[in-house]
Amino acid sequence: MKERFKFNTVGFFTRDNKATVDFYTKTFGFTTDWDGIQPNVEMTLGNMRIILFPRDAFEHMVSRKFQYPEGFNGTMELAFDVPTFADVDKEYQHALANGAASVLSPTTEPWGQRTCYVADPDGNLIEIGTFTK
């Protein structure tokens, strides 16, 4: 069967592109050639891609206003797998050191996953976890 779609990007509408770029490059190692001026930002990590666009610029472009969640955004998450339980704890601390807000500290769940949640500068939820001790 011919592939109809290929999902390849998550896009965020941001309050502050620079803060979000700094967070994802320092915390997870995303790279970008963003010039710090253009409203559209593309960041990559392996075959993952995140795009950013300022909320006000997006509203101007489409000529309509939107309501954005305040605080933690519980409508979606990004999930990053790491190799081991110890890496969950290490990456959680690394994320906090780079400006993430803690949502759930590292926890070993009854189903065997060690996981944690942090929020990026815009309140988007990020899960860091593994099933490998």
Three-class SS state of 50: strand
Is the residue at 2 inside a domain?
no
Is the residue at 86 inside a domain?
yes
Are 92 and 57 contained in the same domain? no
Is the residue at 3 inside a domain?
no
pLDDT of residue 1: 81
Are 92 and 126 contained in the same domain? yes
Task: Give the tens place of pLDDT for each residue, 107-120.
Answer: 999 999 999 999 99
Q: What is the pTM of this model?
A: 0.92
CATH number where 41 lies? 3.10.180.10
Three-class SS state of 29: coil
Is the residue at 45 inside a domain?
yes
Domain that holds residue 38: 10-62
The average pLDDT across 67-94 equals 95
Are 77 and 58 contained in the same domain? no
Q: Would you say residue 2 has pLDDT above 90?
A: no
How many other CB atoms are found less than 10 A from the CB of residue 128? 26
Task: Give the tens place of pLDDT for each residue, 28-69.
Answer: 999 999 999 999 999 999 999 999 999 999 999 999 999 988
